[in-house]
Structure 1
Amino acid sequence: MSGDLDPADVERRLAALAASYVPESVEEGHARLRRDAMAPDAFATSVARNLEELRALDDLTRYLHQNARWPKTS
């Protein structure tokens, strides 16, 4: 992971996160979770997806904090 991210890289990461976002109601979410739980590799797939999302958010957070312009306090 690099602390010096290119804005284009950040944009691609955010696009990947947006692509994985699925708006759903609570009932739809429960039904999806039940379906996914039946798949033999559901846990591993879920963990891998969540880890990828967390890494992307971590990279974005590091980039934003590195380049933040904090207000001066007197």
Structure 2
Amino acid sequence: MTQVTAHPLFARGLELLLPIATEGRRLLRAVATGRTTVDIAEELHVPELTVKRMTAALLRGLRVFNRAEAAAVAGHAGLLGD
């Protein structure tokens, strides 16, 4: 019988999501659902540059390289089911 293991991105995803604050999870959901930087800035009532910096910090914290990988982690963690 072949054992299937989770991709390393998903294996560490839940562990990395634990320390993310509510605002970070909200940002992650917005990023993962394809919202633009402008849309996110309007929703959070902050400048676009702030969203760019927050997104960069979020990606570093999740140890991913782009929004698509962040979306994969969010999906695996069940953050997109709402």
- TM above 0.5, yes or no, is no
**Relative contact order: is structure 1 or structure 2 higher (C-alpha 8 Å, sep ≥ 6)?**
1
Higher radius of gyration, 1 or 2: 1
Hey, which of these two has a bigger chunk of helix by percent?
1
